[in-house]
Amino acid sequence: MREKTELEKLRILLPHWIEHSHSHQEEFKKWAAVAKDEGKADVSDLIEKAIAAMTEANSALEKSLDSLGGKVEGHHHHHHHH
């Protein structure tokens, strides 16, 4: 069996990075709401800006994955959550 090329490895990593980023965005949204509810609209606004930047980054990652041919079928990754 041959070793994976670097681009094949990247096709495996990109979906993980995208999924991981989405999970963080959901958590950030929750905490932005908490900050707003606690009277810290400035903090909430900054977290919302971070979420927007992550959304833009995810879009670039998704386009990168598409350019490489999409997800590797049948590959399931295992990872930990913080």
DSSP the chain: -PPPPHHHHHHHHHHHHHHHHHHHHHHHHHHHHHHHHTT-HHHHHHHHHHHHHHHHHHHHHHHHHHHTTSSPTT--------
Share of the chain above pLDDT 90, in %: 82
- Average pLDDT of the chain, as a whole number: 91
What are the residue boundaries of the structural domains of the chain, listed by start?
Answer: 26-69
Rounded average pLDDT over 30-44: 98
**How many residues does this entry show for the chain?**
82
pTM of the model: 0.78
Spatial separation of the C-alpha atoms in residues 64 and 38, rounded to whole Å:
39
User: How high is the pLDDT of residue 2?
Assistant: 74
Spatial separation of the C-alpha atoms in residues 65 and 71, rounded to whole Å:
7
